[in-house]
Each structure stands twice: as structure tokens, then as C-alpha cells.
């Protein structure tokens, strides 16, 4: 079967994945949020609309999201490095612990039920939304980062939970670092590098060790949907600048609050689906 024949046979899925890439790219540029926090819930509900079970949809959405973060984080790292916003010293301290967390989390994804991942994503998405709603412009809680033990725990936790729900490091690391009075611009730049440490080994582990569910969408290898990866990635990169442009023309602060509310509703909806 040729590529064109494959796309023709799965045209609704292809078009839906293209729309996901455009949507995630615009929101990432518009609101400064990581693509994973958008891609995972969109794919989760999208795959179910094609008859994929909720458990399988969450597993494939998580792995596919991590795969899309790899190239986008590389592009982001280049941009932030030029501006001096990547803290190399912090990365050297955190990288081994993040990697331990990622390998543990991505291995667990290949072994546990998707229901638990859905609940975990729902909790983290809801907390992230509340943070955006309630802590805008608030000062730091602590004056400096904790000691070496504390930082190793932080790095491991970021790697573990981010890999398990298919997001880059920004969703967890940026608010966590800013709570400790860490400069916001360096937190964002360093988070881009953390995203690569999380996404690359995480996606590879789920690709190699994961077993595609029986009802997985077409084009799934391991737990990664390759058609989703190929459709979403270039469009996310292409449309992120469009989001930045739109953000320069409207009140992005208010829009970010709207997104936070939508994200909170999404988290609650996912949680209700699990317990319902």
C-alpha cells in the first residue's frame, strides 16, 4: 500500500490529526503552554471517536505526544540558548535524576492500565489550570532552590510524571522553579531542554517496549501512532509562530485564563469518564 492509498483509507483520522497539530501549535505560541498538555487530551477524545477504548486511547495519546515533543523541543532549545536562557549548570545537576524518572515512568506506561494514566493526567491538568488561574503574578514562596537531595527529588518527580502523561517538562518544571524564586525566563528556557530529556528516552521506550493495543488506531507501532506523529509535528512547529502573532494582537493574559478554565473542565471530564 502506498502512502497516498494509506491516507485515503484513513482520511478522517488523517484530517483530525492535522487539525490537532494546527490547534496545538497555535495554542503553544499563543499561550506559551507546552504542546503535550494540549495534544494528549485532544488525541484521547479523538481516538475514542473512532472506536478506540478509553484505556487504549490514553496509552497511544501519551506515547504519541512524547514523540511530537522531541523535534519541537530541539527547535525551542536552539532559540532559548541564543538568548542565554538555558541554565546548563541546573541541567547537569538534574539530568540524571530526570532520566531515572523518565525511564521508570515510561516503563510503567507499557505495563499499567490506561485508566491510571487518565486519572493522573486529569489531576495534573486540573492542578496546572488552577495554578494558571490563581497564581498569575504572585511572588515566589521560597527564596532559593532546596539542597541537592531536594533537587534530585524534584528532577525525578518531573521526569516520572511528565513521561507518564505525555507532556514536556514545562508544565511541571516552570511553576515549580518559579515557586523557588528562579528567574522566569530561565525557567522557560531550561524547561525546553528538560523536555528533550523527557521526550526522547520516553518515546523510544514506549516505541520499543510498548505493545500496540488490539484496538489501536491505524499506524500505531509500539504505543506511538506514527501517522499522528507525522501529521502533528510539522504543523505544530509551523503554526506556533502564528499563535505568537495572534497573541501580540489580543489580550493573551485573559485568553490564558480562558484556556485554564477549558483545561480544568477537560481534566474534570477525563476524571468523570474514569469513575463513571
d(CA 266, CA 120): 13
Residue pLDDT tens, the chain, 276 long: 565 666 677 777 778 888 888 887 787 766 656 678 888 998 998 899 888 999 999 999 999 999 998 888 887 788 778 888 889 999 999 999 999 999 999 999 999 989 999 999 999 999 988 888 887 666 678 888 999 999 999 999 999 999 999 998 788 888 888 889 888 788 888 888 898 999 999 999 999 999 999 999 888 999 999 988 988 988 888 887 787 677 777 776 777 788 788 889 988 989 888 886
d(CA 219, CA 227): 6
Angle 32-76-41 from CA coordinates, rounded to 5°: 50
Q: How far is CA 158 from CA 61, 141, 174, 191, in A?
A: 19, 19, 10, 10
d(CA 219, CA 213): 12
Domain positions in the chain: 12-275
Number of DSSP helices (H) and strands (E) in the chain, helices first: 11, 2
d(CA 221, CA 211): 8
pTM, to two decimals:
0.88
Amino acid at each position: 500500500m502506498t502512502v497516498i492509498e494509506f491516507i485515503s483509507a484513513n482520511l478522517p483520522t488523517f484530517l483530525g490529526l492535522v487539525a490537532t497539530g494546527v490547534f496545538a501549535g497555535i495554542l503553544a505560541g499563543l499561550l506559551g503552554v507546552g504542546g503535550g498538555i494540549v495534544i494528549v487530551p485532544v488525541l484521547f477524545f479523538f481516538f475514542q471517536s473512532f472506536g478506540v477504548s478509553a484505556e487504549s486511547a490514553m496509552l497511544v495519546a501519551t506515547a504519541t505526544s512524547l514523540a511530537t515533543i522531541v523535534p519541537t523541543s530541539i527547535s525551542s532549545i536552539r532559540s532559548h540558548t541564543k538568548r542565554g536562557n538555558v541554565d546548563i549548570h541546573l541541567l547537569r545537576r538534574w539530568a540524571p535524576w530526570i532520566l531515572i524518572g523518565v525511564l521508570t515512568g515510561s516503563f510503567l506506561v507499557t505495563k499499567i492500565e490506561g485508566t491510571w494514566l487518565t486519572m493522573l493526567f486529569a489531576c495534573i491538568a486540573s492542578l496546572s489550570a488552577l495554578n494558571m488561574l490563581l497564581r498569575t503574578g504572585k511572588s515566589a514562596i521560597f527564596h532559593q532552590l532546596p539542597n541537592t537531595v531536594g533537587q534530585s527529588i524534584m528532577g525525578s518527580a518531573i521526569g516520572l510524571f511528565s513521561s507518564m502523561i505525555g507532556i514536556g517538562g514545562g508544565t511541571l518544571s516552570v511553576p515549580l522553579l518559579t515557586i523557588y524564586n528562579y528567574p522566569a525566563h530561565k525557567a522557560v528556557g531550561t524547561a525546553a531542554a528538560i523536555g528533550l530529556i523527557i521526550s526522547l528516552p520516553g518515546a523510544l521506550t514506549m516505541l520499543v517496549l510498548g505493545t500496540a493495543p488490539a484496538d489501536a488506531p491505524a499506524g500505531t507501532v509500539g504505543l506511538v501512532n506514527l501517522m499522528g506523529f507525522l501529521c502533528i509535528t510539522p504543523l505544530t512547529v509551523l503554526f506556533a509562530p502564528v499563535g505568537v502573532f495572534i497573541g501580540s494582537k489580543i489580550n493573551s493574559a485573559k485568553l490564558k485564563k480562558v484556556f485554564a478554565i477549558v483545561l480544568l473542565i477537560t481534566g474534570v471530564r477525563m476524571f468523570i469518564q474514569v469513575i463513571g
